[in-house]
Amino acid sequence: MDALGSLLEGFDVVFQPQNLLFVVLGVVIGTVIGVLPGLGPTATIALLLPITFGMRPESAIIMLAGVYYGSMYGGTITSVLLRIPGEAATAVTAIDGYEMTRQGRSGPALGIAAFGSFIGGTVAVLGLVFVAPQLAAVAVRFGPPEFAALTVLGLVLVTYLGTRSTYKSVLAALLGLLLATVGQDTISGTSRFTFDNPDLFSGLDLVAIAMGVFGVGEILHALEDRNRQGGRIGAVGRILPTRADWARSRGPIARGTLLGFPIGMLPGGGGVMSSLTSYAVEKKVATRPEEFGRGAIEGVAGPETANNASSISAFIPLLTLGLPSNAVLALILGALMIQDVTPGPSMITDHPEVFWGVVASMVIGNIILLVLNVPLVGLFVQLLRVRMGVIGAMALLISMIGVYTVNGSTFDMMVMLGAGVLGYLMRKTGFEAAPLVLAFVLGAILETAFRQSMLTSGGDVSIFVTRPFSGALVACTVLVLVGTVVGAVLRRRRGDSTGVLTRTKQMAED
């Protein structure tokens, strides 16, 4: 009952006029940027970070959280109508959603996606209410060894689960760790990689790096690909699903919720992984699997529910452990740090208005999104007619002004532009920026925790395996690494076997 009572106090925070306005503003912005291909929650939140500098902590995080889960709704619209994912997590939805559009059933596809997203998001909020305080109670007993081991596990999971190319994500993460070492040593105060530049003594600024890699980098890439965004917008028609649609969607919605919630808490999990997992499960358990890829409504209901449930549960490790599970949460961590709010085990007691205000805002935000997305889909679709050149120019100007206002530093502006070029080149060469930024954020946590552990143990590394919690986390890390290697070997052997069989068959035919 304590959790429910605290949640009611959170509603008191949300229903303050300014916070209610930020809930609406956040989910509307999220829906809009989800609709617009080329922009996403990561780039948008990076551009909005400077704006939060003068806001109250709860108001800032309420708005940014709304942008995050609101973009999951908006990305569905272009996936269904144009087969252009507005957000990466909705790419799976485009498979069957677009086929339903071709059959004249885009309305039910968008409708079931909206209702499934609402159900998954709402259930995930309830899970957050009960799981987060329990995890925080356990995390209170964490010391430097546990945080070091947990950070390493997070980095490994991010590089393994979050991307298609493991070696490219490892390289990106290593670059992020290198950038995190720039500045003064937190223990000895020694300057590292500063090149006698006073602007680098305090390290590279997270806002400048994030706005550059995600914001400027995504803008440049979107401007280059703007000609690929065209397409004939399909008619929406009736939005509400039929009874038959609901009968086929009940199971996928339930399974999507149960899958998305735990996957969202994993570092590197997030909406992409949860939607892919849900789609694979639904195709496996379907009585008519041959319909998948040809307009099966289950292929829309399950993934959409899963990615929205995961977007809510992803806040659990951020708020209770101070560890972001994906790039968007890393930026929200930056927003909290700007507000002098340190997320972690004590956040629930030290800043209850922020924690419970954000949780309660998710309930209100999901209701607002359902109300907006069902009757106003046609209006959001018209945003596709806005030229990317106009949006990109405005976003670049806002980002330049925004990064300057945080610290009043022209050096940060140069860092942002340099990071923007880096982000653009990474996109062009198949590297993902998320591991870089996550490693940059986690690098400082890892270094401090590791150094403190070594000082405590007198240089004995066994401290990481002799303590129960840290030992369990190290074991999990080893299992993930071993599983990665074994999986790669098995895939290579399977490929070699297939190649031998193919060559043998060709020789027999000859």
Task: Collapse the DSSP code of 192 into the 3-class scheme (helix H, G, I; strand E, B; otherwise coil) and give the result.
Answer: strand
Instruction: DSSP letter for 163, please.
Output: -
Distance from first CA to last CA of the chain, Å, rounded?
76
Beta strands in 28-155 (DSSP E): none
Instruction: Please choose, from the candidates 399, 32, 402, the residue with its C-alpha nearest in 3D space to the C-alpha of residue 214.
Output: 399
Q: What is the pLDDT of residue 22?
A: 92
Q: Show contacts of 349-352: CB within 8 Å, 24+ apart.
A: 351/57, 352/6, 352/9
Measure the CA–CA gap between 196 and 57, rounded to whole angstroms.
Answer: 35
Instruction: Please choose, from the candidates 388, 335, 376, 372, the residue with its C-alpha nearest in 3D space to the C-alpha of residue 27.
Output: 372
Task: Collapse the DSSP code of 20 into the 3-class scheme (helix H, G, I; strand E, B; otherwise coil) and give the result.
Answer: helix
**If residue 144 lies in a helix (H) or strand (E), which one and from where to where?**
helix 144-161
Distances (CA, A) of 362 to 118, 159, 474: 10, 29, 34
- Contact assessment for residue 39 and residue 382, using Cβ atoms and an 8 Å cutoff: no
Instruction: Please choose, from the candidates 258, 282, 235, the residue with its C-alpha nearest in 3D space to the C-alpha of residue 96.
Output: 282
Q: What is the pLDDT along the chain (510 residues), one digit of tens a residue?
A: 476 778 888 888 899 999 999 999 998 888 887 776 556 677 778 778 878 877 888 898 999 988 888 887 777 777 777 676 656 667 778 788 888 888 888 888 888 888 888 898 889 888 888 888 887 777 667 788 888 888 888 788 767 655 557 778 888 888 888 888 888 877 777 888 888 888 888 888 777 887 788 777 877 877 776 544 444 555 556 677 888 888 888 899 999 999 888 888 776 556 667 887 888 888 888 888 888 888 888 888 888 898 888 888 888 888 887 778 777 788 888 888 878 888 877 888 888 888 899 889 988 988 888 887 766 666 666 665 666 666 667 767 767 776 776 677 788 888 888 988 898 888 888 887 778 877 887 787 788 888 888 888 888 888 888 888 888 888 888 887 887 777 767 767 766 544 433 443 444 444
Measure the CA–CA gap between 170 and 431, rounded to whole angstroms.
Answer: 10
Hey, what are 225's tokens?
């690909």
Measure the CA–CA gap between 409 and 398, rounded to whole angstroms.
Answer: 15
Hey, what are 378's tokens?
């046609």
Taking the whole predicted model, whether its pTM rises above 0.75 is answered as no
Spell 240-270 as b/e; 16+ CB within 10 A means b.
ebeeebbebbeebbbbbbbbbbbbbbbbbbb
Q: Tell the burial category of 499 from Cβ atoms under 10 Å away from its Cβ (0-12, 13-18, 19+).
A: exposed
Instruction: Please choose, from the candidates 395, 391, 366, 354, the residue with its C-alpha nearest in 3D space to the C-alpha of residue 68.
Output: 366
Measure the CA–CA gap between 107 and 101, rounded to whole angstroms.
Answer: 8
**If residue 33 lies in a helix (H) or strand (E), which one and from where to where?**
helix 17-35
Distances (CA, A) of 428 to 32, 179, 326, 424: 25, 21, 21, 6
Residue 192 bridge partners (DSSP): 183
